[in-house]
Structure 1
């Protein structure tokens, strides 16, 4: 049981590092436009407190996090040029971003979700009235 737990922790740490690499690659000037679009979706979903399947649903709640985020990262790492990945890895390692918590980014993402929800509610109310 201990070895499985260690393996799981290492894998989760790798996913966290890869998310920051993808976020850094998004800003890189050599990243193609379509890849930037996919990157912003994957990073926003990874940092978002809102999931497609809520986490309180047993088993299924965490399934989307365990499948969708790694799948998005894997696709992006295949699409990104090798030099962009290497540059992004170096920037993430130098900045120590994986180790620090970014409360500002979390607040911005929550604000964006709240604005989207507000816009949707207003749009629906206007259409119904």
Structure 2
């Protein structure tokens, strides 16, 4: 069972890299590119929709949302775009974690939280 889970996790990681490359392809449909950007950002984000410290639910969002998003985007992307992205991902050296990328993602989440908070306050005041 454990080897199957490890293989599944590696495939997910590889597919996230493939989507990150495919979303930059100009031949990819706009809807697939937008969904790919959302899935990649969510998968790489240090902030989850449901925090991991909440028992069961915190891990279920990662186990359900990311694979479901991957499945949907892989169905929407044309085969030739995915083939080119897989070739580029296989040829690319392994990525190192980037603190700058992490900081950018955290800033984007903070900006989204501030925006949502402001709009929520406006709704509550009216």
Scaled by the length of structure 1, what TM-score is found?
0.86
Residue equivalent to 1:78: 75
Classify the secondary structure of the residue corresponding to 1:100: coil
Structure 1 residues 116 and 7, CA, compared in 2 at 3 Å: closer, same or farther? same
SS of equivalent residue, structure 2 residue 50: coil
The correspondence for 1:107, drawn from 103, 106, 116, is: 103
Residue aligned with 1:6, SS: helix
Counterpart for residue 24 of structure 1: 21
Q: Are the structure 2 counterparts of residues 103 and 95 from structure 1 closer, same or farther at C-alpha, using a change threshold of 3 Å?
A: farther
Question: What is the CA–CA distance in structure 1 between the aligned matches of 2:25 and 2:46, rounded to whole Å?
Answer: 26
1:63 & 1:7 partners in 2: Cα distance?
A: 18
Deviation string, structure 1 residues 8-51 (Cα, Å, up to 9, x no partner): 11111110110111111000011001111111111111111222
Q: For residue 116 of structure 1, report the CA deviation from its aligned partner.
A: 1.5
Structure 1 residue 81: deviation in Å? 0.8
Per-residue deviation, residues 68-99 of structure 1 (Å, max 9, x unmatched): 101111111111111111111111122224x5
Mapped to 2, the partners of 1:91 and 1:105 lie a distance apart of: 20
Which of residues 19, 41, 44 in structure 2 aligns to 1:44?
Answer: 41
Query: Structure 1: which 5+ runs fail to align?
Result: none
- What value does the CA root-mean-square deviation take over the aligned residues? 1.8
Alpha-carbon distance in 2 for matches of 1:79, 1:93:
21
User: Which of residues 110, 113, 116 is equivalent to 2:112?
Assistant: 116
Unaligned runs of 5+ in 2: none
